[in-house]
Amino acid sequence: MKTLNGSCLCGAIQFRVADAFDYVGNCHCSECRKFSGSDYAPAGGLSAEHFAFIQGEETVRYYEKSPATTLAFCPTCGSSLFSIKSDTGRYNIRLGALDDTPSQKPSFHIHVDSKAPWLTINDKLTRYPGHPESL
Ligand SMILES: [Zn+2]
Ligand SMILES: [Zn+2]
C-alpha cells in the first residue's frame, strides 16, 4: 500500500500513514480552529494500524481536549499533528502535517454552523451543520 510521510515543522517528529483514509474533510469547529491556528482544519481519518511513527514518538505531547478526543502536537515547534478518538481508536491526521500528497482530497465540511465568521466557503462540497454520526 502506498504510504504518506508526515512531520512537524522542526522535524523532530516524523510519521507514516497509509494513503487510504476512511474519509477526508474539513472541520470548522472552534476547537480545531484554536488548535490549528487556522480558519478550519483539514484532516483524514484512518485506523491505528495504518499509522506509525518514524521518529520522535517519545517527543510527542498529548492534550486531552475531551474524553472522546486527544490532540497530538510537537512541544518544540507547536505543530498540530493528529487527534485520536478514544471510542474508535481512529487517528485524524492533519493534512497540513503531511509531506507527501494524498490521493484523496477533502470531500466535505463539518461543524459549518460554528465556522469562522470571516470565512466564506466557496466550494460545492457537502456541508454538515454539526458532526455527522457516520464520522
Ligand atoms: Zn516539531
Ligand atoms: Zn473540529
- Centre of ligand 2 to C-alpha 57, Å, is 24
- Ordered by where they begin, the domains of the chain are 3-127 (2.170.150.70)
DSSP 8-state class, residue 134:
T
Dihedral pair phi/psi, residue 50, rounded to 5° = -100, 15
Evaluate if residue 21 carries a pLDDT over 80: yes
Percent above pLDDT 70 for the chain: 99
Q: Which residues contact 97 (CB under 8 A, 6 or more apart)?
A: 6, 7, 8, 79, 80, 81, 82
Q: Please count the other Cβ atoms lying within 10 Å of the Cβ belonging to residue 82.
A: 23
- In the prediction, which pLDDT does 133 show? 75
- Out of 71-75, 85-89, 92-96, which region has the weakest mean confidence (pLDDT)? 85-89
3-class DSSP state for residue 102? Answer: coil
- CA–centroid distance, 82 to ligand 2, in Å, is 11
CA of 121 to the centre of ligand 2 (A): 16
CA atoms within 13 A on the CB side of 110: 19
Ligand number nearest to the C-alpha of 80: 1
Query: Sign (positive/negative) of CA torsion 75, 100, 50, 44?
Result: positive
Distance (Å) from CA 28 to ligand 2 centroid: 6
- The mean pLDDT value for 87-112 works out to 97
Do residues 46 and 90 lie in contact, with contact meaning Cβ atoms separated by under 8 Å?
Answer: yes
Ligand 2 center to residue 47 CA distance, Å?
18
**51 is written with which cell numbers?**
499509522
**For residue 3, what is its C-alpha cell?**
504510504
Distance CA 41, CA 27 (A): 5
Rounded distance from Cα 112 to ligand 1 centre (Å):
30
pLDDT of residue 134 exceeding 90: no
